[in-house]
Amino acid sequence: MGLGLIVQKYGGTSVRDAERVMNVARRVTDAYKKGNNVVVVVSAQGDTTDDLIEKAMEINDHPSKREMDVLLSTGEQISIALLAMAIEKLGFPVVSMTGWQAGFMTNSTYGAARIHEIKTSRIENELDKRRIVIVAGFQGLNKYEDIVTLGRGGSDTSAVALAAALNADICEIYTDVDGVYTADPRFVKSARKLDEISYDEMLELASLGANVLHNRSVELAKKYNVKLAVKSSLNNNEGTYVKEVDQVEKMLVRGVTRDNDCARIALCGVEDTPGKAFQIFSLLSKNGIGVDLIIQSIGNGKNKDISFTTTEGDLEKALEVLNDNVSVINAEEIKWTKDVSKVSIVGAGMVNNVGVASKMFEALYNEHININMIATSEIKISVLVDKKDAERAVVAIHDKFFDR
Ligand code: ADP
Ligand code: ASP
Ligand code: MG
C-alpha cells in the first residue's frame, strides 16, 4: 500500500559510520518499496559538527559567523552524498540536494537562521520521477545568497519545515533513543518512553534542555499541524507521537529536564527606585541579550539586589554591557557564575496545582539541594541549582513523580 509522502530525518548518531549509513539506506528503501514517496533529511555524521568547530578554533577563536556557517554546512553535505551512494548501491533511484538546492530560503541571521520559505518545485519534480530525495539538514540560503545554518540541532527543524511545505502525511524523526522519555534516558535509568505528548509540552521540554527535538521544529509542527513521530533508527519499536493537546491523555508531569547552558548575574546593592529594572533590562534587550529567570529581593528600603540568568554564550556580552553602563546601573557589586543549571518539570495537567511545586521542592530538600531561583508558568516549573547538583536533582525529582 502506501502512496503517501513521508519525510524522514536521521540524526548524527544514526549515520555515524558506513554501517549506520547502510542501515539508514535500508530503512529508507523499505518505506519507498511500500509505495511511498520518501524525502530524507540528514545531519552531519557523529561528532562532525563539533570537530569542525574545533578546527575553526585552532585557527581563529572569534571567526565571523558567515565563515563559520560555510564551514559547518559541509558536515551535512558529506552525509547526503554518502546516503545517496548507499541507496544507489541498493539499486533505487535517488538524488541528493544541499539545503539551497532544496529551496530553503532563510532570514539573514548567520548561525541561527529562521526558514522563511521552501521553494519545493525541484524536490517535487524529483518525486514525480519516483526518486528518493535526500536533503541536507541544518542549512539554507539568505537574501545575500550566503550559506546559513539554523542553530545546533537544527536538522529537526529542516525536516518539519519540509514536511509542512510538502504537505507530507508524516514527519518521522529517527534518533538513537526509542522516542521521547520522561527524562534523558542517558543518565536517568528509570526514565520511561512516552507513547504520546502534546505539542505544547514537547515545546517546553525541548526549550528547557531535552535536545531530542530542536525547539523550533516543535513550534513549526504545531503551527502547520505536522504529524510528528520520534523513533529509533536502530529498531522497530513504536516511537512517541507529538499531537494536539486534546488528543493526548493529561498527565500532571510529563517530563523532567536539565539545561546546563545557564549563567547567573547578580547586581547587588542597586538603588530601590521605580524604573531600575526597566533601565537594566532594556539595556540588555537593546544589545540582543536574552534573559530568562529573574529575581529581585525586597530590599531594605534603600537598596535591593536583582539577579537574572542568560545563556553561557551571552554572559560575556551581558557583563560588557553592564560594565559599560555602570553609571546607569549603579550597583555596589556585579557577581556572576556559570556554575548553575536549570532543572524543570513540564506537564499540561499541573495548571494551578500547587501540590506539584511542593512535591518538586521536597525532592530537592531530601537530597539537600539548594534552590537559587524559581519560575513557574501554566505547564512548567523551573528551578536554578548549582551545576554540580543538576543531574542528581533531575533523578530525585523524576523518582518522586514517576516511581512509586
Ligand atoms: P540526533 O543526532 O539524532 O539529532 P540528539 O543527540 O540531538 O540526536 O538527540 C537525542 C538525544 O537526546 C538522546 O540520545 C538523549 O540522550 C537526549 N535526550 C535528552 N532528553 C531526552 C528525553 N526527554 N527523551 C529522549 N531523549 C532525550
Ligand atoms: N549537525 C548539526 C548539529 O550538530 C545539526 C543537527 O545535527 O541537527 O548541531
Ligand atoms: Mg538532534
Give nearest CA residue, ligand 1 atom 11: 212
* Spacing, Cα 41 to ligand 3 middle (Å): 12
**Is the CB of 10 within 6 Å of ligand 2?**
no
Give the position of cell 559599560: 324
State yes or no: pLDDT of 301 exceeds 90.
Answer: no
pTM, entire model: 0.94
- Identical fold between 5-176 and 263-337: no
**Cβ count within 10 A of residue 88:** 14
| Ligand 1 atom nearest to CA at 10 | 3
**Cβ count within 10 A of residue 120:** 17
* Spacing, Cα 153 to ligand 2 middle (Å): 4
* Spacing, Cα 238 to ligand 1 middle (Å): 16
- Domain map (residue ranges) of the chain: 5-176, 263-337
As a whole number, mean pLDDT of residues 330-355 equals 92
DSSP bridge partners of 175? 232
Show the cell assigned to 401. Answer: 513523580
Give tens-digit pLDDT for 94-104.
Answer: 999 999 999 99
SS3 263: strand
| Ligand 1 atom nearest to CA at 255 | 23
Show the cell assigned to 143. Answer: 537574501
As a whole number, mean pLDDT of residues 342-348 equals 96
How far apart are alpha carbons 348 and 202 in whole angstroms? 10
Task: Report the CATH number of the 263-337 domain.
Answer: 3.30.70.260
179 near 233, Cβ under 8 Å?
no
The whole-number pLDDT of residue 2 equals 55
- pLDDT category, 261, cuts 50, 70, 90? very high
Supply the DSSP symbol for 134: E
AA letter at 98: T
Strand ranges of the sheet holding 147-149, from the earlier edge strand across to the other edge? 115-118, 104-106, 139-141, 147-149
The whole-number pLDDT of residue 319 equals 96
- State the average pLDDT for the chain: 95
**Is the CB of 153 within 6 Å of ligand 2?**
yes
254 near 201, Cβ under 8 Å?
yes
Give tens-digit pLDDT for 89-138.
Answer: 999 999 999 999 999 999 999 999 999 999 999 999 999 999 999 999 99
How far apart are alpha carbons 379 and 352 in whole angstroms? 9
| Ligand 1 atom nearest to CA at 180 | 24
State yes or no: pLDDT of 246 exceeds 90.
Answer: no
Give tens-digit pLDDT for 184-242.
Answer: 999 999 999 999 999 999 999 999 999 999 999 999 999 999 999 999 999 999 999 99
As a whole number, mean pLDDT of residues 274-285 equals 93
| Ligand 1 atom nearest to CA at 233 | 3
Q: Which of the four CATH numbers 3.40.30.10, 3.40.1160.10, 3.40.630.30, 3.30.70.890 does domain 5-176 have?
A: 3.40.1160.10
% of the chain residues with pLDDT over 90: 89
State yes or no: pLDDT of 307 exceeds 60.
Answer: yes
State yes or no: pLDDT of 44 exceeds 90.
Answer: yes
How far apart are alpha carbons 197 and 349 in whole angstroms? 12
* Spacing, Cα 155 to ligand 3 middle (Å): 7
